[in-house]
A and B are shown apart, each in its own frame.
Chain A
Amino acid sequence: SYVLTQPPSVSVAPGKTARITCGGNNIGSKSVHWYQQKPGQAPVLVIYYDSDRPSGIPERFSGSNSGNTATLTISRVEAGDEADYYCQVWDSSSDHPYWVFGGGTKLTVL
């Protein structure tokens, strides 16, 4: 099955840029989606199809995907961005479709 690898944690100072990576074999050939999850809350879709933002998501959130790495970039980080972030892809390589999540990255705002 397809595996997505994320760093367990990323730390950033307020106002700086945070980059969270998601590694996978030739992930650039897949569509990558990103979710933000704050403690005790359901996940929220923040980036889909590599770089599109759902309505209501600030322009500070952006995404890219190429080769073996997808990246979620959060510019001008705010305290309220502190959360767990998960990448996700749809894998159709096995005998049935599968939706795969990365292990998650905890973003800490210093």
Chain B
Amino acid sequence: EVQLVESGGGLVQPGGSLRLSCAASGFTVSSNYMSWVRQAPGKGLEWVSVIYSGGSTYYADSVKGRFTISRDNSKNTLYLQMNSLRAEDTAVYYCARMVVAAAPDAFDIWGQGTMVTVSS
């Protein structure tokens, strides 16, 4: 079964750090384009970051310079290292696999999400 399972969320103080993990099963992370998408409480979806199968990475302007996306091929796991966290980073963070045709387009498989709360 194709599945994504996130972990690592929790409560962190402003300025702190957290690393999210997303374990995949049923497919290979390194052969796919993978993203992180977040959703603040009561709000809509916001794309955060992507890693291409070739290793290129991109970030939303709101997290650039603070967040780092990576993967561990041996563990078939995607990560999001979050530094200098702010209150506005409070959200449920989803990892998602991307559909690729001519370009990485839609998100076809989603994890269940992990909650990150930034508060003192």
Contacts and interface: CB of A to CB of B under 8 A. Distances in A.
Interface in B95-113: 99, 101, 103-108, 110-113
Contact of B106 (A41, A88, A98, A104): A88
Nearest to B49: A99
Contact of A48 (B94, B104, B106, B113): B106
Given A42-B94, A98-B60, A90 B44 contact: no
Contacts of A86: 44-45
Given A86-B44, A98-B47, A101-B46, A42 B108 contact: no
A54 B50 contact: no
A44 B110 contact: yes
Contact of B110 (A43, A48, A99, A104): A43
B58 interface: yes
A102 B45 CA distance: 8
A55 to B, nearest CB: 10
Given A35-B45, A99-B47, A104-B44, A92 B103 contact: yes
| Size class of the contact patch on chain A | 20 to 34
Contact of A90 (B45, B103, B111): B103
B9 to A, nearest CB: 14
Contacts of A31: 101, 105-106
Contacts of A37: 45
B51 to A, nearest CB: 12
Contacts of A54: 108
Nearest to B46: A101
Contacts of B77: none
B104 A90 contact: yes
Interface string B81-104: 000000000000010000101011
Contacts of A99: 35, 37, 47, 50, 107
B6 to A, nearest CB: 10
B110 A101 contact: no
B1 to A, nearest CB: 13
Interface of A: 31, 33, 35, 37, 41-45, 48-49, 54, 86, 88, 90, 92, 96-104
